[in-house]
Amino acid sequence: MNKDLVSTIADLNEQEALKIVKDRLSAGEDPLKIMEDARKGLEIVGERFASSEYFIPDLVYSGEIMKLITELVKPQLTREEETRKSGKIVFGTVRGDIHDIGKNIVTFMLDVNGFEVIDLGVDVPEQKFVDKIKESGASIVGLSGFLTLAFDSMKQTIRAIEDAGLRDSVKVMIGGGQISEEIRKYTGADAYGKDAMAGVTLAKKWTGVN
């Protein structure tokens, strides 16, 4: 039975999903409609993750399926469609911390959910965030940190953004192994994401993406 793309992605059936995409492209279907269905499938994955039916590896797996689908559809998109993004996000692991696996997962999930992510890497000084926000015009900043020492760096980065007069034009999310509401208050961030999907949900909310 030929299942629909939304449920196939939601069920993380990679081979079936890719076959459906190829068939629909061959049939001359609108590539944007295919991408829309794929995103709906990804949304269901997010809901299943939120309800603990799926776990982080499942979430990342869904992102990899989405990436493959995007690669298949991309040649059929116009330049304008291809480069259309939901929003621009500057992301990095703050000064003093060099952990990157969590950051890489969040940035990957933001990317497959249609955001343009500018990844500054690890051990990123405050000024580098400020410069990149100015240069890119990003409306969201993601600060990642795994160690407790990262809390002060997050606070100082947000202060540097304030000092540069940019605080009102960006929303700041923080995330990492030890992050809690208490730490959010301490750093002055707008919100914290307890996992990769929470980061995506926040970015969608802040940019008005449904």
Partner 1 sequence: MPIIRDISLNLNMRDVLRRQGLGEVAKVRPEIKILIQELLASLECSCMLKPVSAYEYYTVRSMNDSQILLEGGKAIHGPLLPATFPDAKELVILLCTIGPGLEKQVTDYTNRAEPLRAMLLDGIGSAAVDKMVVEVLKRLASESSSRSYEISSPVNPGMPGFPLTEQWNLLKLVNAGEIGVRLTSSGVMVPRKSVSMVAGIGPEMKRWTQAEICARCKLSKTCHYKVTEQG
Dihedral angle, C-alpha 175, 111, 135, 210, nearest 10 °: -80
DSSP for 141-176?
EEEE--STTHHHHHHHHHHHHHHTT-GGG-EEEEES
Q: How far apart are CA 39 and CA 32, in angstroms?
A: 10
Instruction: Choose which of 47, 134, 149, 205 interacts with partner 1 (CB under 8 A).
Output: 149
- Contact between 180 and partner 1 by CB under 8 A: the answer reads yes
Binding map of partner 1 across residues 150-179, x = CB under 8 A, - = no contact:
---------------------------xx-
Q: Distance (Å, rounded) from C-alpha 121 to C-alpha 129?
A: 11
DSSP-derived 3-state class of residue 31: helix
Is position 37 an interface residue for partner 1 (rule: CB under 8 A)?
no
Q: Smaller CB distance to partner 1: residue 33 or 85? A: 85
95 sits near partner 1 (criterion: CB under 8 A): yes
| Smallest separation, CB 108 to partner 1 (Å) | 5
Between 38 and 65, whose beta carbon lies closer to partner 1? 65
Binding mask 69-88 for partner 1 (x = CB under 8 A): --------------------
Pick from 208, 199, 19, 210: nearest CA to 108: 199
CA 84 to chain CA centroid, Å, is 15
Where does this chain bind partner 1 (CB under 8 A)? 12, 14, 55-58, 60-61, 63-64, 67, 95-101, 104-105, 108, 123, 147-149, 177-178, 180, 194
